Amino acid sequence: MTQTPKLAWKGVTKRFGDRAVLDGLDLSVAPGRSLVIIGGSGQGKSVTIKTALGLMRPEGGQIELDGENIVGLPESKRRKLFSRIGVLFQGAALFDSLSIWENVAFRLLNADGVPRKQARERAIDALEQVRLDPAVADRFPSELSGGMQKRAGLARAVVAQPEILFFDEPTTGLDPITAAAINQLISDQVRRLGSTAVSITHDLASAQTIGDEIAMLHGGKIVWRGPAADLHVTDNPYVRQFVEGRPDGPIAHAV
C-alpha cells in the first residue's frame, strides 16, 4: 500500500482574472521529507504555499493534510491546523515592537496560552537551536543583522515543534556565506524535528542543501520532479534552461 502523503495538492486551480496561476496542480510530499519548489518569477510558488496555509482559496481541487481536505475549513479549524505548521516568511516578518523572545514565542503566548516565564524559556531554547546567543532575547528586530533576523524567524517557525514547515525564499537578501549558514540550519532543524518541509526558492544552492526532492513549477503545473541530486543531470528542458540561466528555451517561449 502506498503511504498517505503528509501534504498533497490535487488538481488545484487558482485564478487571478483570466489567468490560471495554478492550473490543475498535482504535488505531494511524504511524511518527513523535504520538498523544494523552484520556478521562474510569477509562476505561482508563493500562491502554492498560500493555498496550503489557507491564506488563499483555490477555485478547484483539493489540498489534503494527512489525507483530509483542508480547503475552505472554518476559521476555528484553520487555527487549530496552524498549530501543526511553522512558517518562515520571506524577510523573516518579525514584529518591530516586540522583543526577539516575544517574537519567537508569539504563538505560544497568543494562541497556545503558555505562561510568559515558560514561553520565554522555550523561546531561548529555540534561539540556541539556531545558534543565537540568549542575550539576543531582549533585543529588538531593528538591532539585529539580516542574517540574525532570519535565524530569529527560523526559531519562531520551530518553537512549537511543528509537523510541517514552510520556508518562503529563506535566503533572499543574504550574502552567500550567511545564506549557506541559514540553509544548513534549516536542514538541521527539519531533520531534528522530523518535520515535513516545503520550501520555495530561486536559489539552486539553497534548493540542494535543504531539499530531498525538487519540483519545478511552470505554467501552473509541475513540469519536473526528482531527487535534489538530479537537478544537474536531468535533461528536462525546463530544468536545463532554469539551471543554466539561459534566456532561450521552453520557458521563454511559454511566457
Ligand X SMILES: Nc1ncnc2c1ncn2[C@@H]1O[C@H](COP(=O)(O)OP(=O)(O)OP(=O)(O)O)[C@@H](O)[C@H]1O
Least separation in angstroms between CB 92 and ligand X: 16
Torsion region of 48: left, alpha or beta (phi above 0 gives left; psi -120 to 50 gives alpha) = alpha
Could you say which residues in the range 181-240 bind ligand X, by CB under 6 A?
A: 202
The piece of 39-47, 68-76, 133-141, 234-242 that touches ligand X (CB under 6 A) is 39-47
DSSP string, 107-136: HHHHTS---HHHHHHHHHHHHHHTT--GGG
Strands, E assignment, the chain: 7-16, 19-29, 34-38, 60-65, 68-69, 85-88, 164-168, 196-200, 213-218, 221-227
Closer CB to ligand X, 43 or 199, in the complex: 43
Q: State yes or no: residue 25 binds ligand X (CB under 6 A).
A: no
Determine the Cα–Cα distance for residues 134 and 181; give it in Å rounded to an integer.
19
Pairing of strands 213-218, 34-38: parallel
Binding mask 45-84 for ligand X (x = CB under 6 A): xxx-------------------------------------
Q: State yes or no: residue 97 binds ligand X (CB under 6 A).
A: no
Least separation in angstroms between CB 137 and ligand X: 32
Could you say which residues in the range 159-188 bind ligand X, by CB under 6 A?
A: none
Determine the Cα–Cα distance for residues 185 and 178; give it in Å rounded to an integer.
11
Closer CB to ligand X, 50 or 84, in the complex: 50
Closer CB to ligand X, 41 or 142, in the complex: 41
Q: State yes or no: residue 16 binds ligand X (CB under 6 A).
A: yes
Residues lying near ligand X in the complex (CB under 6 A) are found at 16, 21, 39, 41-47, 202
